[in-house]
Structure formats: structure tokens, C-alpha cells
Amino acid sequence: MKRALTALVAAMALCAVAQADDYPSKPIKMIVPYPGGQASDTIARLVGERLGKALGQPVLVDNRPGAGGNIGTDIGAKSAPDGYTLTVATAALPISKHVYRKLPFDPAKDFAPITLMTITPLVLVTRTDLAVKDVAGLVALAKKEPAKITFASSGPGTSHQLSGELFKSLAGVEMLHVPYKGSPPAHVDLMGGSVDIMFDNIVPVAPHVRSGKLKALAVTTKTRASALPDVPTMAESGYPNFEATAWFGLLAPAATPQPIIDRLNKEVVAILQSPDIKERLAGMGATVVADKPEEFGRFMAAEINKWGPVVKRANIELE
């Protein structure tokens, strides 16, 4: 019996190696669980184009938005573990474990990490005619008019909402949350004056700040962002304990053969570390990480632990 089991394990290992040797033999799908035009889509297309050339097969970006990213992520989790369906993960993924009562997948168990691609700051932006010049002014206005300030997000339970809830808690203010189906429609209403503020990824909002369509009050990282160097940090603005980042990683379904994971990690890391890609990402405000699968796995676990108390404090629960 023991010999038979050993032989079975060896056969499975040889099969996985053979599968990796033939990989890829057809196009690869990269699921982005958000609409086009968001940072996750921009980064996926940038990496996907180069990855297709490196692997000799097209990498097709498949936008599957809805339910705060859970629709596309669930498709990715339930896909065949053969390396032909990848999923772009964002900071919303570990948050979803705490927010959704009936999440159809487990962020900690249903995926094999490939690499954490980039980390980017969030930016606290306001409509241009809001009568505040800095974070202190925003807090003063919010305290003067409790629950009148509206803050937009790309959807309930996202890092954008959680950043707003964290800000409310640290500043001791009340604001009204207005969720949208993705960032682009939120930007339209923010620029049009229908909502007041938003925490959003620096990649899509920096151009609006530079063009004068939005006003930036602070970035959410410990240091200033090279894409918006004149914008102070939340720490500089009086909130040293406020830190939140947007991040983008690449996942495969759990049980994907390790040789395939290793191949994908090697190719994606090489792409991200190429000087021209790093320069393009830096211009958008993104910092390349490009770590090993096990390092990304530990990062994911830490993120799951980090956001649990924030969700509980804000009493956020979704179906």
C-alpha cells in the first residue's frame, strides 16, 4: 500500500512536470474583476501584452465586474487549475472575507499566489469647488456639518470604502458613503459635483488632479508619491496611523501545478522588472514589487488580518 501511494505521488509529480513543459499550448485568460479603465485593468493589459509575447500565446484580458469584484474572482477561483485562467487580485480580495456573509470562495484557500505585481497609494480627492484646502479643513467641515459630506467608492466593501471608514474613525467624523459600480462613474459624479470626496487609486485619479478636474488633499502611504510629489501624506496631515495602499497581484486557482506557478512567476517578475515597464508604472504612481509566490501568500494573509477589525468597527456586512 505504501509503495503504491509513493508511486502515485511520483506519477502525479511527473505529470505536473510534463504539463509545465507543454505549457502554454493555447491562449491564456486573465480575469480582471472590475470594469475597463480602472487601475487593475490598466496594469493587467500592460503585463498581459508582454506575458503573451514571453509565453508565445496570447493573454486575453477578460473584464468580469460586479459585486465588488466577487463575480470575476469567483469565476477565477472555480476555473480549472491548469494555468490557463489567471485572476488579478486587488486589496478588495482580503477585505471580502470579512464583509460578505456568503462569499462563494475563500481568498485564503482557493487561490495559488503567483506574484504581488505593484503597490500604489490611494489619494484623497475632492470636487474642485469643495471649500477645503487640506485634510484639516475637510475634518473641520465634516464636524461642522455631520453626515453631510458624501464619500464615493468603487463599490461596497472595497478598499476605497474601507479607507473612508478608517478616516471617519481616526478623525472622529460622520460622512455618508455613496457606492458606485466601479471608479469611472464615481469620478464622473465627483467631477460633476454630485459627491464630495473619494479615496481612490492614484493611477486613474492622478491625470484628473493634474488637469485640475479634481483636488488632491493627501496620499495614503507613509511617503509622498512620485506621481503627485506636491501632495502631502495623511501622516503629514495629522494622521500618522493612517496607511492604506492599493495593490495588484496575480493568482491562479488552487492546485495549479507548482512548475506552472513557477514559470508564470519567472516571466511576470522579469516583465515587471524591465526598465521600460518600471518607468511606465512609476509614471502612473505604482511601485513594482514582483515577489515570490510564498511572499505574496504571506502578504495576503497579513492583509486579511489587517482589515478584519476595520470592517467590524464599521459594522459592514453584505450578502
Which residue ranges make up each domain of the chain? 27-119+247-314, 121-219
DSSP state of 233: B
- pLDDT, one tens digit per residue, over 21-43 is 799 999 999 999 988 888 899 99
Domains 27-119+247-314 and 121-219 share a fold: yes
DSSP state of 138: H
Q: Report domain 27-119+247-314's class.
A: alpha beta
Q: Report domain 121-219's class.
A: alpha beta
| % of the chain with per-residue pLDDT over 70 | 94
Overall size of the chain counted in residues: 319
Residue range 68-84: mean pLDDT, rounded: 95
- pLDDT, one tens digit per residue, over 274-290 is 999 999 998 888 899 99
CA distance 124 to 163: 9
pTM: 0.80
* Distances 253 to 30, 72, 81, 197, 272 between C-alpha atoms, Å: 12, 13, 5, 36, 22
Confidence of residue 19 (pLDDT cuts 50, 70, 90): low
Rounded to the nearest angstrom, the gap between the alpha carbon of residue 158 and the centroid of all alpha carbons in its chain is 9
* Distances 142 to 65, 175, 218, 269 between C-alpha atoms, Å: 32, 7, 16, 44
Are 97 and 103 a contacting pair, CB within 8 Å? yes
CA distance 239 to 229: 18
Confidence of residue 10 (pLDDT cuts 50, 70, 90): very low
Identify whether 24 is preceded by a cis peptide bond (ω within 30 of 0). yes
Least confident of 9-13, 148-152, 256-260: 9-13
